[in-house]
Structure 1
């Protein structure tokens, strides 16, 4: 959002030619979109995406408040006119995953209030205090995904700004605008760096409203961005920058934090300075808001043998994982609607005996055992769950009656009731994934064990605690009946 330097000088000259004390006419600034900052919708930081798409059926909704200081000042080298000194806007944005390769989003901004110097002193009509900004529709196309084994996430964004903004509030262009950009991101330990590059095409800005000839501003801008954020489910940090390369340069640098309020609901606060001489570049910005995100477990169908080799798999072994010491078992919940066992075996068990982790009978054999670990306070499946593809593959290879056992566990994160709920939610997340892969509910048993069967009873580090926040998945099949011979009686 800028005017060519010659046009900017002409605007300033026109303002200052009019006597400040006795203006006889009231001309109006040409309507154009003053806002230069475009926020990211969906995954990634507030300023720059990370190349990752929402999974199909995933929904993200954000409500952002935005304050700017001195976004529009005109001068001729001697006098200044702060056309907009303070400006507060709001942004409602939403994103939805349609296909694994397609995500659609929309943004609608609003000007809540703005004020500055009295424009009538310079012969200009007053600006509207409030108005609707330029709505933006966007399609994000996934090109590469770490979910499919690639080292980075890569996406292409194609969007259009609709000419529906309130021009009297400097919130709308005379025609539609279009943008295209590429975004790449990855995860390095507990950090997520990302980069983006793109171009914005906007309609030319006509200056006839202030008595000038029909001159046009440059209608293309190159935009670059970079961001760095931390991972996890608790307090997270974000740092991002976005630069616009045109006849006039502008750059924004924003840093802040993001923290959870409720499950799926985050709050964030960011702020920082802006640099440049382009119109619409403030001294600094402050953004705050909330974001809600809900996603089903991702569907991953491509197997990566290299990553599969690093999974905690124990093939063709019937012995359960070793425990550091014996934990007194307590009662647990079992989802009977999803559990089908052998009625005869069930009747032989002592009804007072609490449920224990699965132990195969002499007639059964474990063909695959693996674990999926979760972040604290979360039951969202991690991006890398190739274990579940192995489960589906090994299960389909069995010729005898087979069952998939899903056992959820929790760390001592909260109360016993909360831990029980958490362990069940984690097991259900795994079950939903297997269901999407075509596994029938009659072939699955699912249980929650709260925090009663930890791998590490007395964890001292975060890695040990994460071992307890897990779901154990087993593929169990029947063994062939042993061949017996009976010797003739003497």
Structure 2
């Protein structure tokens, strides 16, 4: 009888912990959207469109360190563990100019590898599978190439609910309307966009036991400064800043991304982009690195 009583005393705390463990919600962890036209920045839209009939296709390898970490403070040196510790994704993007002021775009990601560490009894979402595909349409009534003093466009992008839930790569819905503008000078371009990512709200604070660990809709602001190539083999640096302001109780975050693009051959670009994440949001990577190549059938940057 005493042995049975001792066994029950040992098991009860374990059962209580198991009952208190919250399941991990399934949501879209990836927050970066690439600029499929590559006109200006690689990650910030500048209100420009490809000429009618011009097609740009690109392939990117994209690495993120600690894109999901419940225990972070803003100190990239300290963080070494996360429910999603490393994620490697391949992206195929495409854009086509339809009219002088209209462009269509698409982005198809595939998670090549994802690894993490267990957290409070939650098994890390590891493996490979499809991410959320995005499609977009951009209308740009004002463009420098058509004689306007600046570039001004509006874009609507939508995520298709086709990604892997098990890999945190799917929302039930996600739309991203935004306004984009830029100024072009001799050898440089300055651009910005303001938009809102509209998606379901996911409260992760019961898992992390940290207030404001919420993933949901947010206001997005991006700014970029890029050089403009003057010949077929020029090298183009760029600096882009992304800021995310939560609309449903989460934490603000941002990224600073520095890139360089090389015109290797006519119509072929090779490029690199990377930089740190900033802030204590649960879903901002500590660092992001991207390398890629693009091919365009006509005149572009």
TM-score normalized by structure 1?
Answer: 0.51
Report Cα offsets for 1:352-401 as digits up to 9, x if no partner.
xxxxxxxxxxxxxxxxxxxxxxxxxxxx599xxxxxxxxxxxxxxxxxxx
**Change in CA separation of 1:217 and 1:254 when aligned onto 2, cut-off 3 Å:** closer
1:218-237 map, 5 Å? 219-232=216-229, 233=231, 234-237=234-237
Residue equivalent to 2:35: 40
Whether the 8 Å contact between 1:52 and 1:142 is mirrored in structure 2 is yes
- CA distance in 2 between partners of 1:205 and 1:243 (Å): 20
Kindly indicate whether residue 152 of structure 2 is the aligned counterpart of residue 154 of structure 1.
yes
Q: 1:112 to 1:28 in 2, by over 3 A?
A: farther
Equivalent residue for 1:165, pick from 152, 163, 166? 163
Counterpart in the other structure of 1:74? 70
- 1:25 offset after TM fit, Å? 9.3
- The answer (yes or no) to whether the contact 1:93–1:107 under 8 Å persists in 2 is yes
How many aligned positions are there?
A: 271
8 Å Cα contact 1:224/1:242 also seen in 2: yes
Give CA-to-partner distance per residue, 1:141-171, whole Å, 9 cap, x none: 0120112211111110111111111011011
Are the equivalent residues in 2 in contact too, given 1:25–1:123 (CA < 8 A)? Answer: no
Name which of 35, 42, 52 aligns with 2:48.
52
Q: If the length of structure 2 is used for normalisation, what is the TM-score?
A: 0.82
Q: Which residue of 2 aligns with 1:63?
A: 59
> Counterpart of 2:140?
142
CA RMSD of aligned residues (A): 2.9
**Which residue is 1:266 aligned to?**
269
Paired with 1:264 and 1:292, the residues of 2 have a C-alpha distance of 5
Residue 294 of structure 1 is aligned with which of 269, 294, 297?
297
Gaps of 5+ in 2: 1-12, 74-78
Higher strand share: 2
Task: Choose between structure 1 and 2: higher helix proportion.
Answer: 1
Unaligned runs of 5+ in 1: 1-17, 296-379, 383-490
8 Å Cα contact 2:66/2:81 also seen in 1? no
Return the offset for 1:249: 0.8
Cα distance in 1 between the residues matched to 2:34 and 2:25 = 25
Name the larger-Rg structure.
1
Q: Distance in 2 between matches of 1:381 and 1:139?
A: 18
Alpha-carbon deviation of 1:133?
0.8
Secondary structure at the aligned position of 1:30 is classed as coil
